[in-house]
Structure 1
Amino acid sequence: MDVLVCGGDGFVGQHLCADLVDRGHSVTALSRSPNPDVLPDEVETATGDVTEYESIEGAFEGKDAAVNLTALPPLHQPQPGTFHDTVCIGGAVNAAHAASEHDVGRYVEMSSLGAEMDSPIAYWRTQGLGDLVVEYSDLDWVVLRPSFIFGEGSETIEFIKQYTTPYVTVLPEGGEEPTFQPIWVEDVATITAEALEDDKHIGNVYDFGGPEVLTFGEVTRMLYRAEGKSVKIFSVPMEFAKIGLRMLDPITAIPLGLDQARALEMSNVTDHNDIDAFGIDESDLFSLSAYLEQGRPLRE
């Protein structure tokens, strides 16, 4: 297949493009400022912004399949001039419309676990609305909703390291409640490639995560333990934390606000892990604890 990957040089896109090349597909990575250095030599690049239809429309010409990976980071406030609405909703509208106009045969929308149109959190609310755009399109679509994705360059791990400290740190109350079901980026790439290749996935929404269900506190301890450091966690009542974050919320230079506090209150864990739809068992997945202990998997 000739596949277009929107956001192809991003965190997930780099791994997906490499996986698709290994499977024998022709791949084009689309982004606002393509970086060919992070992609296999076989991958072509195209320049475009999913929030601007005219800039991306031509890239869909002649493509057999497309994947939309574009989104803003969920755990940081958007930078000035960028909005979840324009990227998650507008981007989904533009990419799906371009795919439909050019008769793209398969379309995969990368969403996230917890994406619901009535979510109190902007990231998940706009992703939920973006999913609906795709689901009501005339495309042969698949929507993938993973829990937090880890690997080199993981936004979640960077966020935890930025806002915690070794030895002693403070977390909002609720940091010891189940929050994450982290899944390795290369496992996500494998599932995405399978969603593109197998017709049985058309018209399905899949919620999935990794083999471990972890709290924010547990992930924090694991990260520092991997560096040979300990950490003692003190909890601050969530209401007190929200008072402080409400004061910081308007300051865009500080990428932590009320949405990030709300994110810590929600459980990003599957009711049923849909990886079984891809013939995968949780024991087949690479865990965060193993990743931190050995860096990368010692398996093919």
Structure 2
Amino acid sequence: MEVLVVGGSGFIGTHLCDELQSRGHSVTAMSRSPGSENLPDGVETAVGDVTDYESLTEAFDGKDVVVNLVALSPLFEPKGGNKMHDIVHWQGTENVVKAAEANDVSRLVQMSALGADTEGDTAYIRSKGHAEHAVESSGLDWVIFRPSVVFGDGGEFVSFTKRLKGMFAPGVPLYPLPGNGKTRFQPIWVGDLVPMLADAVEDDDHVGKTYTIGGPEKLDLRQITEMVYDAEGKSISIVPLPMALAGVGLSVLGAVPGFPMGKDQYRSLKFDNTTDDNDVGAFGVEVDSMKTLRTYLSERP
């Protein structure tokens, strides 16, 4: 099949392009400024910006399936403020749907997020909910994925824990974590996720379904932070930072140019990013066979 991966030069995109090509598909990676250095040989590139409909149409022509992976980070406030979530996720997805329909693309695989909800607590979650609605309302054969946080080579989740220390306690041996690091995640390895995405590209049985996807463990931020530093042979002293105090700090620091977090990201740390309804079994995956974060960290050079 001819597959276009929108956001194909990003973290998940490069892994997915590799997986799709290994299965014999003709793959094109689209982004605003695609580079081939991180893509496997033979993957084509195309320039396109989901916020600009006219920039998309040429690359969509002749494609059988489009995978939309374009996303801003939920962990850090985007340049331009949280309004960018609506522009990139919601309006961007509407443009992807429009371009797919105009070019007779048969299937759209949409990357959403765990907890996506038009009435959600953060701009990120609300925009992902509106994006899902745009996909579901289309005339396309669609598949939606709602993963928890994704880790792996090239990802930002592991480094996020270190950036938190740099934000709240630079230059000191203590590590204050908002809410004592009780926010829970269900991190999934990119190497476990991308074969499921590729299956959704190929298999008609997944059409019209929304899959909630998580990793094999539910870990709180404190456990994750300790794992990251332990894997590097470092010890840290974690101290609790009450959520109210963290919120005040982020409200003040969020107004400082260049500071990566704001009120919306603080709110995201107040609720868990986990699921009790893990749909990995729909892809023939057993939870016990999935890679844990600790295993991944122990294997890194």
TM bin (shorter chain) = over 0.9
Q: Tell me, in whole angstroms, the C-alpha distance in 1 between the residues paired with 2:280 and 2:124.
A: 23
Deviation sequence 1:119-157 (CA, Å, 0-9, x none): 121111101110110011110000001100001122221
**For each residue in 1:210-237, what CA deviation from the matched residue of structure 2 results, as whole angstroms up to 9, or x when unmatched?**
1011000000000000000111211121
The 10-residue stretch of structure 1 (21-30 or 265-274) with the greater mean CA deviation from structure 2: 265-274
1:14 corresponds in structure 2 to 14
Of 201, 208, 215 in structure 2, the residue corresponding to residue 203 of structure 1 is 208
Separation of aligned partners in 1, 2:256 and 2:96: 32
Q: What RMSD in Å do the two structures reach over aligned CA positions? A: 1.4
Aligned partner of 1:39: which letter? L
**Cα deviation code 1:220-255 (max 9, x no counterpart):** 000000000111211121111111111122334101
- 1:172 paired with 2:178, answer yes
Mapped partners of 1:128, 1:64: distance in 2:
25
Q: How does 1:1-300 map to 2 (within 5 A)?
A: 1-80=1-80, 83-164=84-165, 168-173=174-179, 175-177=181-183, 179-295=184-300
The code of the aligned residue for 1:192 comes to L
Query: What per-residue deviation string (whole Å, max 9, x for no partner) do you get for residues 148-176 of structure 1?
Result: 00011222212211122695200111512
Q: Which consecutive unaligned segments of at least 5 residues does structure 2 have?
A: 167-171
SS at structure 2 position matched to 1:265: coil
Q: Which runs of 5+ in 1 are unaligned?
A: none
User: Is the 8 Å Cα contact of residues 181 and 214 (structure 1) preserved in structure 2?
Assistant: yes
Distance 1:206 1:66 in 2: 17
Contact 2:6 2:70 (8 Å CA) reproduced? yes
Q: CA deviation at 1:57?
A: 1.2
Query: How many residues were matched structurally?
Result: 295
Return closer, same or farther for 1:243/1:211 CA change in 2, 3 Å cut-off: same
Q: Give the Cα separation in 2 of the matches to 1:277 and 1:213.
A: 20
Assess if the C-alpha contact under 8 Å between 2:180 and 2:239 holds in 1. Answer: no
Letter of the 2:40 partner, please give it: P
Structure 1 runs of 4+ aligned residues shifted over 6 Å read: none
Distance, in Å, in 2 between the alignment partners of 1:35 and 1:265 is 37
1:184-214 deviation per Cα after TM superposition (whole angstroms, max 9, x unaligned): 1121111100111110100000001110110
Tell me the TM-score normalised to structure 2 length.
0.95
The letter for the 2-side match of 1:33 is S
Q: Secondary structure at the match of 1:290?
A: helix
* TM-score computed with the length of structure 1 as normaliser: 0.95
Q: Distance in 1 between matches of 2:46 and 2:6?
A: 9
